[in-house]
Amino acid sequence: MNLSFFDQFSSPYLLGMPLALLSMLFPILLLPSPDTRWINNRLSTLQSWLLHLITKQLMMPLNKKGHKWALILTSLMMFLLTVNLLGLLPYTFTPTTQLSTNMALAFPLWLATLLTGLRNQPTVSLGHLLPEGTPTPLIPALIMIETTSLLIRPLALGVRLTANLTAGHLLIQLISTATIALLPIMPTVSLLTTLILLLLTLLEVAVAMIQAYVFVLLLSLYLQENI
């Protein structure tokens, strides 16, 4: 059966049932559960240190009212981080390469930050649509532009994450296919492409972590504007 490069992004099925939900829940099983003992193992200590570091970085620009979102944002960060990294393993499915999945994460959280601002400080939230000192003839155009930029924020979040991960997976598949094809013909060139593939894999690991951080960081910045 001939497969295209984009078949890796299609959701796998087993007995007619999609396994996308299972692939999203599986990373949770890899995280060690918290223990009540005073002395934990190295993995639990590393997990606690990482959670503390992520929470500190995300909550630093927020005031005390925004600290209520610490659990949601930290959990989302760990979820995206584990899913993105596990998606780099061979023969695995990455749910975050699906625009529908990323939009399902971005839109409710963006809407929650927007509604929080409209409920707590409606004047300040609506004031973001019109910069101070705007000339009178430009007021209608600027309001339309700012409203459009506000409404496309969740779309930008989802598309950014989807595009970066999809491009990385496609590059890895293209270079790995070229490496295998060149091995019997030009072994020296094949070794060079193998080195490029290893460097690209390291780059994609960094991209997977950075994109997860950027996704949650932008949500925290949207929350900062509305609290």
The predicted structure's pLDDT at residue 2? 46
List Cβ neighbours of 97 (8 Å cut-off, separation of 6 or more): 9, 87, 162, 165, 166, 169
**Tens digits of residue pLDDT in 86-115:** 888 887 788 888 888 899 999 999 999 999
When pLDDT is averaged across residues 58-79 and rounded to a whole number, the result is 85
When pLDDT is averaged across residues 135-153 and rounded to a whole number, the result is 85
When pLDDT is averaged across residues 144-163 and rounded to a whole number, the result is 90
Q: Report DSSP state, residue 32.
A: P
Q: At what angle do helices 42-59 and 187-225 cross, to 10 degrees?
A: 50
Does the pLDDT at position 186 exceed 60?
yes
The predicted structure's pLDDT at residue 1? 40
Task: Give the three-class secondary structure for 151.
Answer: helix
Does the pLDDT at position 134 exceed 80?
no
Task: Give CA–CA dist 6/4, Å, rounded.
Answer: 5
pTM for the predicted model, two decimal places: 0.82
Candidate from 5-9, 149-153, 168-172 with smallest mean pLDDT: 5-9
Does the pLDDT at position 117 exceed 70?
yes
Among residues of the chain, what percentage have pLDDT more than 90? 22
List Cβ neighbours of 11 (8 Å cut-off, separation of 6 or more): 18, 19, 20, 93, 98
Q: pLDDT band for position 226 (50/70/90)?
A: confident
Does the pLDDT at position 33 exceed 50?
yes
Does the pLDDT at position 74 exceed 60?
yes
The predicted structure's pLDDT at residue 138? 79
Q: Are 163 and 207 in contact (CB under 8 A)?
A: no
List Cβ neighbours of 215 (8 Å cut-off, separation of 6 or more): 76, 80, 105, 106, 157, 160, 161
Measured CA angle at 148 (ends 143, 153), to 5 deg: 130
The predicted structure's pLDDT at residue 112? 92
Place of tokens 């997990």: 47
The predicted structure's pLDDT at residue 34? 64
When pLDDT is averaged across residues 46-53 and rounded to a whole number, the result is 83
